[in-house]
A and B are shown apart, each in its own frame.
Chain A
Amino acid sequence: MNKLKNSASEALEGILFDGMTIMAGGFGLCGIPEYLITALRDSGVKDISVISNNCGIDDFGLGILLHTRQIKKMVSSYVGGNKTFEQQYMKGELELEFNPQGTLAERCRAGGAGIAGFYTKTGVGTVIAEGKEHKEFNGETYILETGLVADLSLVKAWKADDEGNLVYRKTARNFNPVMATAGKTTIAEVEEYVSLGDFDPDHIHTPGIYVNGFIVGTDHKKPIEIMTTREYVA
């Protein structure tokens, strides 16, 4: 079976429904599935709960789903730098669940690995710990966090082969591999399509078992949020 789909809308056909939970990979605007997010917007699916480290910026990434008011709830670790988000949240139009970044990553990893919950020291003594089970191990206090699964995971990789094996590039990897494992359905978006056998099997980051389909985007915009450079010294 070739998992390559012709377009983002074809890849999402029959999968979307109102009120669903969607994981989206990326850190800031780095390694986000930009074509799949646009297809989500165009589908009109609404009341979605989105699990993603951030919520894009005002006019790119997941931020575009705020303008169309398709997002009901965000589960994120950091949402700074997005005015639309702030406005909708302050008006009570948007639910927000903050998770510490490592806890969020581990909840996805656990969910994908069939682990119902895990104990972590992160957040002990803070608002994050409120209402959660506390337990002592070796004299230290930990809190119980639960695994996360999503109806759909949208991830961004660098390359895919027909089997849906994925390879990521540099820090665009971030949440993508763990989210790929935690979707009941996972759709990937890549920059390059390679033939079976082109990947060294030792170098595959996400085995194709986690990937139901993928699309090849052309001319990814990949905007840079904060451009920082140094000068050549003569």
Chain B
Amino acid sequence: MNKNTGALLDVAGLQVLYPIRGGLFGRPVGHVRAVEDVSIRIDAGETFGLAGESGCGKTTVGMAILQMVRPTGGRVAFEGTDLTSLATGALRQIRRDMQIVFQDPYSSLNPRLTVGESVGEPLLVHGVARGHDLKRKVGDLMEIVGLQPSYASRYPHEFSGGQRQRIVIARALALRPKLIVCDEPVSALDVSVQSQILNLLNDLQQDFGLAYLFISHDLSVLKNVSDRVGVMYLGRLVELAETAALYERTLHPYTEALMSAIPLPDPVRQRARTQVILSGEIPSPSNPPTGCPFHTRCPIAQAVCREKLPALEEKRPGHLAACHLRD
């Protein structure tokens, strides 16, 4: 990807290897290739959706961007600064601009802090506000996410999952970040609450010009929130395109299968569909297949797929896919 696009975030050739330790002295005996050669660009105010199943590396990409996991290769440029070479102290300043919202709103709030303390903590830590000013700012944040400011004195256990996720979002907004990594932010929520949170995230993006990296296994959720979508399989991006283009015509057989596996909430249409049901399971990322990582489950795999890794190429304008057989 181009270096001088002026993108908010420019990730190039990202690699994350986790060591597998074994033996008496816990020496690394191998690696889990969690993320391999992932390049994505996110512009200010844009939502990039990252799709994939468990173990595909999508969460690791989010963590590596925030340097919560240090990448073993590649570059993560935020507003032109390469974060991978920054020391912890310098990172702290950058982290004001980048926040994260996790999947489970039950475990991402400290149960011993009032929600007001949790929401205000980033402001305090970064010396942005304290005392009366802090209280007012917390109240404002609570209001922005649709909670009564008076709730600030309550504890997390007094809130439902959806409300907790609002609190987590308020905390993420506290420092007025430019980018929020949303890691499955609605997966743990009830259906009727999911849509509330998705609408809230869309509203906040409008109001504050936020960019999101939106990580989800659910392609129907991603369609609702994303401007562009990347699909990962076994640590690699296999397809990347504008949302409309991707959903109109998928190129990679894995994306197709993933799309087809999501049941449509309409019994007539769902039952009339020809579903691609993949055989087999996701291989282990510690021992990925040779060639195209998807060939072991791919319904159209040929000999070349077993031997050669397909490059992520632009098959149509702005539409990238890593497949030998599809153009």
The answer to whether A binds B is no
Q: B residues near A, CB below 8 A?
A: none
